Amino acid sequence: MKICVFGANGYLGASVYKQLKHVEADEVVGTYLQEPALSDGLVKLDVNQPESFSEFYKKENPDVVVWAVMSGPNEHKLTDQGLMHLITHLTPKTKLIYLSSDVVFSDGNGPYDESDSLSNLPEDHSFSNYTNGKVKAERLINNELTNYVILRAGPIYGENGIGRLDERTDQLSYHLRSGKPIEFRDDLVRTFVHIDDLTKVIEEMIYNDVTGVYHVGQDVSQSFYKFMKATAKQLGYDDLLVKKASEAERVDTEIPKDTSLVTDRIKQVINI
Ligand SMILES: NC(=O)c1ccc[n+]([C@@H]2O[C@H](COP(=O)([O-])OP(=O)(O)OC[C@H]3O[C@@H](n4cnc5c(N)ncnc54)[C@H](OP(=O)(O)O)[C@@H]3O)[C@@H](O)[C@H]2O)c1
């Protein structure tokens, strides 16, 4: 089996690429964009460039595609160009595993299950490009393909397969090591997922026949404040340095309050 990981230089993609490289029976290819490539054997590719994308895809012709690219302020372009290029090349035999996010529930009235409606943010909102890009991508995939898995995740945390921490934990450690307080919001509720768990879910989805939309994450949801306070304690820091951040915000930067995910459905189809 041949597997292609797009975005294999990123926080999640690097873990998935490294994990798959251990399975010797399979051929794994991965792409990166910005130098330096953090793992051996990655191919430099801008997924938004149709000619080079087409050339790469026809040469590799994978059986499974893991789409772990992300470009917050340019997410719309990644959907309209990169993902569209991919969709024109996919055959019904090729399985797509698309990494989506809890941001598709931008109403923020969670918890949400897989059947709940997605919502866009107003175009002038600071996060509209990422949120609306993801919503559009999910709708495209759902309309155009049958052999796909969409995995929706909340904030991903932990050290990835090549030793990189998520930015939030990295920031927490940096502050607490030097005895400085750090603030997180207590009114924003999320379903956190450890990078190793998500990587294992992706690996299992590559090899099984499951298709559809699934939420991935812990059974319990927490605010950023409570989660980061617990993380501080777990890492051996003084958790009293973790404080509650102000909840005041402007309308165009307002963050959805509760985008927590109900994760019961995935437990029926995977072994983890
Ligand atoms: N991190 C989270 O907490 C979180 C939560 C929910 C969902 N997700 C989803 O999980 C996926 C992976 O996220 P991540 O945190 O691993 O993101 P990330 O660290 O930013 O990695 C994304 C990768 O996409 C690549 N990329 C961006 N534009 C590209 C282009 N035009 N052509 C080719 N590659 C391009 C970048 O490659 P280079 O580095 O080589 O430039 C980058 O490594 C995304 O779909 C994201 O929406 C993440």
pLDDT in tens, 54-106: 999 999 999 999 999 999 889 999 999 999 999 999 999 999 999 999 999 99
Q: Specify the pairing of strand 222-223 against strand 189-190.
A: antiparallel
With 90 as the cut, is the pLDDT of residue 149 above it? yes
Neighbours of 177 (CB within 10 A): 10
pLDDT in tens, 35-47: 999 999 999 999 9
Token digits of residue 173: 């450690």
Cα(186) to centroid of ligand 1, in Å?
26
User: What is the structure's pLDDT at 139?
Assistant: 98
User: What is the structure's pLDDT at 195?
Assistant: 98
With 80 as the cut, is the pLDDT of residue 135 above it? yes
Cα–Cα distance for residue pair 163/186, rounded to 1 Å: 29
The letter for the amino acid at 131 is: T
Q: Which atom of ligand 1 is nearest to the CA of 130?
A: 47
Residues with CB under 6 A from ligand 1: 7, 9-13, 31-34, 45-48, 68-71, 78, 82, 99, 101, 153, 155-156
Q: Report residue 253's pLDDT band, with 50, 70 and 90 as the boundaries.
A: confident
Mutate which of 69, 132, 157, 228 for ligand 1 pocket (most atoms within 8 A of beta carbon) = 69
The letter for the amino acid at 218 is: Q
With 80 as the cut, is the pLDDT of residue 25 above it? no
User: What is the structure's pLDDT at 73?
Assistant: 86
**Contact call for residues 100 and 150 (beta carbons, < 8 A):** yes
User: What is the structure's pLDDT at 180?
Assistant: 96
Cα(185) to centroid of ligand 1, in Å?
24
Residue of minimum CA distance from atom 43 in ligand 1: 10
H/E stretch holding 21 = helix 11-21
Q: Which atom of ligand 1 is nearest to the CA of 156?
A: 3
Q: Angle of helix 11-21 relative to helix 195-207, nearest 10 degrees?
A: 50
Mean pLDDT, range 178-182, rounded to an integer: 96
Q: Report residue 207's pLDDT band, with 50, 70 and 90 as the boundaries.
A: very high
Q: Report residue 251's pLDDT band, with 50, 70 and 90 as the boundaries.
A: confident
Mutate which of 11, 19, 170 for ligand 1 pocket (most atoms within 8 A of beta carbon) = 11
User: What is the structure's pLDDT at 24?
Assistant: 76
The full set of domains in the chain, from first to last, is 2-157+191-219+262-267 (3.40.50.720), 167-187+221-253 (no CATH)
Cα–Cα distance for residue pair 100/152, rounded to 1 Å: 5
**Contact call for residues 72 and 130 (beta carbons, < 8 A):** yes
